[in-house]
Structure 1
Amino acid sequence: MVSINEHRFCDLFHSAAIGIAYVGLTGQWLQVNQKICDLVGYTQQELLERTFQDITHPEDLDTDLEYMQRLLTLEIQTYSIEKRYIHKNGSYIWIYLTVVLVRSPRGEPEYFITVIKDISDRKQAQEKLKLLAYYDVLTGLPNRFKFLEYLHQCIESSNVNPNYLFSVVYLSLNQYQVIKYSLGHSQSDKLLIEMVRRCLSFLTPNQVLARVGENEFAILIRGESNFENVANLANRLRKQVMRSPFKLNSPFESFTLDIGIVNSTIGYNLPEDFLRAADTAMHYAKLQGRDSTIVFEKAMQQRAIERLQLENDLQQAIKSQQLYLSYQPIISLKTGLIAGFEALLRWRHPTKGTVLPTEFIPLAEETGLIVPITQWVLETASRQLSLWQKEFFNQSSLSISVNLSGIQLTQPNLLEFIDKLLLKVGLKGDNLKLEITESMLVDSTRQVSVILEQLQARNIQLSLDDFGTGYSCFSYLHSLPVDNLKIDRSFVNQIIGNQKKSGIVRAIITLARDLELKVIAEGVETRGQLDILRDLGCDYAQGYFFSKPLETKAVDTFLRNHLGKKAEGRRQKVTECRLG
């Protein structure tokens, strides 16, 4: 009977679906089954000439030996661990190992029995899940969660050693949304991958780059005691990343980076606070203009909270109709007649009173709220102009000017929306003027240019707003799809007694005449300014000299006073087009 049992055990040992082995007290293989040989790639004879230490991953060996020693001292009866074996070809295999110690009748240790299960597939699946959980699929960079882990380690090191310093640099790639919405995800992904490649080529292995948002990245800089060096590094990184155009299927190849920095001396204890502070500094950099770098200060956090409250208030303002339009008359300097109005957005806040666009439009653009807001402005202003045209005799030539954001230009349904709107309210294309900024044209993609050309094909005029204030390049104007140039009020205000400013205005008007463009001067407040503009050949003007921005009812009164009722059809000269 014993012989039969021994044969059965021998058959079970060699045919088992899991690895089974006898291992000597010093680690030599005494007997192994075929499953172990298949697992590690060695023959039985090759394994018997080796020890288990020979095929154990060096990082796992100490743990294995520690548990074996605890078995020998009777501290434990068995143990199970996950460890790695080294395959004959040099690769690693994950196994689940269970070990028991066999003792003699007198209690003396004789050998170990090990049961080995291949768990490589499970480990690979876990690694994939870990990658998905902690690394960005597109770029392969650590994601926000992994970056917070790195930050946590730095905070702990700093708590133990106050001399351990670190910084977080937060990067935001501008114009990314324009690429994504106009050219599609494939091109925006290509842009991000190339940006990451350039960043990694600049950074050292000790500097961790992570993708923490759609077009936002963070860098952890460890061990830098001079924080001025961190800001210098950030600015050098910007130059490195932006040193050459990005090769996209678009003429739009130049981008900008806004950078926020927070240093460990700020005194926060949570990694989320550090990342939030760097993000806040980055948003302050955006407000400074292109390619800015801002170092975080604690006072910024309170303003960030106020900004968040403003965002919530703005969402509520859209729902509860707190937004309204004022209209400023635009006067023809040649005929003295009212040519139209510019629709100016205002916000009647329940506690703060009137909030000007400069305070909430940048926020609306960042949050995407600018899209429904602009649609509302277009619809409200167009409908109102249609009512004025019907109420006042022979005023079908009146136009309404509306500011259009770059984000709105990238919306795929913009043309369809405008076509339906004009048809619904009964306006022609030449009754609508859309004001765009120079930066929108400088940064525009070919697709945006096509949209502007299609707007012009509908006789919708395009005005270049605040011309001369930031990105002006007179040489490219001839190729841009624009009809009007608007001279910024900062030039008009100093046109008297400032030869430089008046020279700029003269140059703009001369250039516009050569390019067959019309010129609109903003911020005209005195007769002296008006006379100079008229003498220079300016076509249109608006400002407090004629009228402040008016709400709808006040515009009705203004039109009755200066245009007359339908039957009268009076024409008023520019010197009379003033609100008393």
Structure 2
Amino acid sequence: MQSKRAIEAAGSAANRIGRVEPAAAAAAEEAMLQGVIDTLPVGVLIFQSGPDGVPLCLSSNATFENWACYPHNQLIGLSLPRIRLLNENPRIGVAVESLLQDARGAKREIDWSVSESPRQRHLSAHISPLPLVGDSPARVVIAVRDRTPEIQAERNLKQTMLNDALTGLPNRVLFIEQLEEALEGRMKSHLAVAIINIDRFKRINENLGHIVGDELLAAMARRLLPCIRANDCLARLAGDEFAILVKNIDAPEDTIRVVERIQSALKSPFVISGGECFVSSSIGIATTFSSRRYSEDMIRDADFALHTAKSRGRGGIAIYQSSAHSVARDMFRMEADLRKAIERQELELAFQPYVNLEQGTLAGFEALARWNHPERGMISPADFIPIAEDSGLIVPLGRWAIETACMQIADWRKRCPNAADLIVGVNVSGLQLAQDDIVGAVEAALANSGIPGSALKVELTESAIVENPELARQIFTKLKQLDLSIAMDDFGTGYSSLSYLQQLPIDVLKIDQSFVAGMLKSDDSYKIVTTIIALARNLGMRTVAEGVEEEGQADRLRALGCDMAQGFYFARPMAARGAEKLLETGLYSPSRKRGGKQIIDARSIERTS
């Protein structure tokens, strides 16, 4: 019935406009307005040009009438500029007039918003010409869609996408957006990014549960908000990591004042699930004074500074320094190169002699890894061994050292009669001890090379042994069954209990070079060396002094009863062919005759090797 009344009213309006005959108008309007149904969820209006060329409304449906607050059929005959909602956007009138003049014109889509207390209504109009029927005048239909629910849903979705559900803070995406806006609009001012990480948060999750952990994160957000300035931004990046965008700073130290307020605020305990929880945070800071002026660079640099702060202990603060990052990037590249070094045969073993101090003879060698990089040249173990340990490459590197040392021993035993009783020491990392099957690796190397276990000595630092003494005892026992000897390296620098020396099957104590270097100048160092030698003798162990660089040190060590020594006074680490020359003589001393025999000058061999 409503559609019928709308058609009759539209026909009447067309007659009033006087552009077509009544009979023809009725037929055209019948076809044109067939689909105009009041129950449609979109507002529909049909326009035709009036006598003065202004678009006049021929028909409207109940949906639009309700939106625009018009009684039924009151829109018929009204000019478009007088119709509420439509007259809020002048482009609608322009588009309708254009299509009425040229029906072949393109359809139009126009979006606009109308302020309606207490909210805005968001509308979208699809404007298109109706097909011409006979001699009927041109007409245009406007289909108006209320996009308010859609826009609100988009905003809600964006709110969800850009804000952290747990804390209500901006998330990483929104933080980056705000950081980029701040970087683009900062002109000459500077800004900073501070990344905050809760120390030992993993323990809270593990011991109290993730629900309590989430409760702490929400409480942390509430605690941090009052610490920042009004124009700064606090966000939760991920997990237990928060970030602050600090704007308009005059110096990097300005950010320190903000983070110090945070550190102070965290001194008070958090009350969570009826209990108290004390936390601290480590904070890394990057500023536009030292970082590249891109959002991803600043976050990366702040994260690097955070890791620097955490490496110093809990509750640390660090400001990004590009020089430190350059070193880290260099180490990262070195790690990538190290992964390929074994396959490319860039690694080699150097051999530093052990000297029997009493007899002046060669007592063996310590095998030391060297890396001959194709671009950097020879790289010191002090530079690449820490990288190998940090990356896990120490396991294949350690296996390579054991296998290569065993094959070298086998080669020497075939060609040098003096190598029959030769012992070569190989260093084993504490990480390798914990992560690799050392016993299996040694068994395989001995089998492949055909040498006896007595030709190999495994050297581990005191700290590596102390980290897991029970594991060390089990492995050492199995290695002793293979007839290997065991040496504790750098003895005196760690925190080992003397009980370990009784429990572990250790054959050799190596006196750390720091004590040897000071024994001629410091009574304390001299007493420590004396004590270690006496301790080893009483426990049935042999001693090796490391880092001997002066004749006086060698003489003093000999007088104290130290069994062996190594160091630059005797020789630097040398290539295998140089070590072989020493094997051929069987005697060893830098510059003296002993027992009526001329002793070879090892340093000349070292230079020629």
For Structure 1 versus Structure 2, the TM-score category normalised by the shorter chain is 0.5 to 0.7
> Aligned partners of 1:572, 1:461: CA distance in 2, in Å?
29
Matched, 1:562 2:577: no
SS for the counterpart of 2:585 is helix
Which residue does the alignment assign to 2:352? 328
* Contact 1:463/1:482 (<8 A) preserved: no
> Aligned partners of 2:376, 2:176: CA distance in 1, in Å?
37
Gap change, CA 1:13 and 1:23, over 3 Å in 2: closer
Matched, 1:168 2:191: no
Gap change, CA 1:280 and 1:531, over 3 Å in 2: same
* Deviation of the 1:281 alpha carbon: 5.2
Q: How does 1:304-453 map to 2 (within 5 A)?
A: 306-307=330-331, 310-311=334-335, 313-315=337-339, 317-333=341-357, 338-393=362-417, 395-441=419-465, 443-444=467-468
With normalisation by structure 1, the TM-score equals 0.60
Which residue does the alignment assign to 1:50? none
AA aligned to 2:404 is T
* Deviation of the 1:552 alpha carbon: 0.7
Q: Describe the superposition over 1:448-473 as per-residue Cα deviations: whole angstroms up to 9, x where unpaired.
A: 7765665556554443332334x434
Matched, 1:472 2:495: yes
* Deviation of the 1:539 alpha carbon: 3.6
Gap change, CA 1:456 and 1:260, over 3 Å in 2: farther
Give 1 or 2 for the bigger CA radius of gyration. Answer: 2
* Contact 1:336/1:574 (<8 A) preserved: no
* Deviation of the 1:559 alpha carbon: 0.4
SS for the counterpart of 2:296 is helix
Q: Describe the superposition over 1:90-109 as per-residue Cα deviations: whole angstroms up to 9, x where unpaired.
A: xxxxxxx98779xxxxxxxx
> Aligned partners of 2:243, 2:377: CA distance in 1, in Å?
41
> Aligned partners of 1:330, 1:563: CA distance in 2, in Å?
12
Which residue does the alignment assign to 2:547? 523
* Contact 1:169/1:219 (<8 A) preserved: yes
* Contact 1:167/1:263 (<8 A) preserved: yes
Which residue does the alignment assign to 2:224? 204
Which residue does the alignment assign to 2:294? 270
With normalisation by structure 2, the TM-score equals 0.58
> Aligned partners of 2:392, 2:445: CA distance in 1, in Å?
21
* Contact 2:429/2:460 (<8 A) preserved: yes
Percent identity between matched residues is 29
Gap change, CA 1:314 and 1:240, over 3 Å in 2: farther
Say which of 73, 81, 101 aligns to 2:88: 73
* Contact 2:419/2:583 (<8 A) preserved: no
* Deviation of the 1:384 alpha carbon: 0.6
> Aligned partners of 1:485, 1:142: CA distance in 2, in Å?
58
AA aligned to 1:463 is A
* Deviation of the 1:502 alpha carbon: 1.4
> Aligned partners of 1:346, 1:318: CA distance in 2, in Å?
11
> Aligned partners of 1:116, 1:473: CA distance in 2, in Å?
73
* Contact 1:22/1:112 (<8 A) preserved: no
Q: Describe the superposition over 1:307-350 as per-residue Cα deviations: whole angstroms up to 9, x where unpaired.
A: 45545554564443232211012234567654421111222344
Which residue does the alignment assign to 1:226? 254
> Aligned partners of 2:503, 2:68: CA distance in 1, in Å?
80
* Deviation of the 1:385 alpha carbon: 1.4
AA aligned to 2:580 is D
SS for the counterpart of 2:586 is helix
Gap change, CA 1:416 and 1:279, over 3 Å in 2: farther
* Contact 1:280/1:300 (<8 A) preserved: no
AA aligned to 1:485 is L
SS for the counterpart of 2:510 is strand
Aligned CA-pair RMSD: 6.1
* Contact 1:430/1:460 (<8 A) preserved: yes
- In structure 2, runs of 5+ residues without a counterpart are 7-33, 42-61, 72-82, 93-108, 113-121, 127-142, 229-233, 270-280, 589-593, 604-609
* Contact 2:587/2:599 (<8 A) preserved: no
* Paired residue total: 478
* Deviation of the 1:512 alpha carbon: 4.3
SS for the counterpart of 1:266 is coil
Which residue does the alignment assign to 2:602? 579
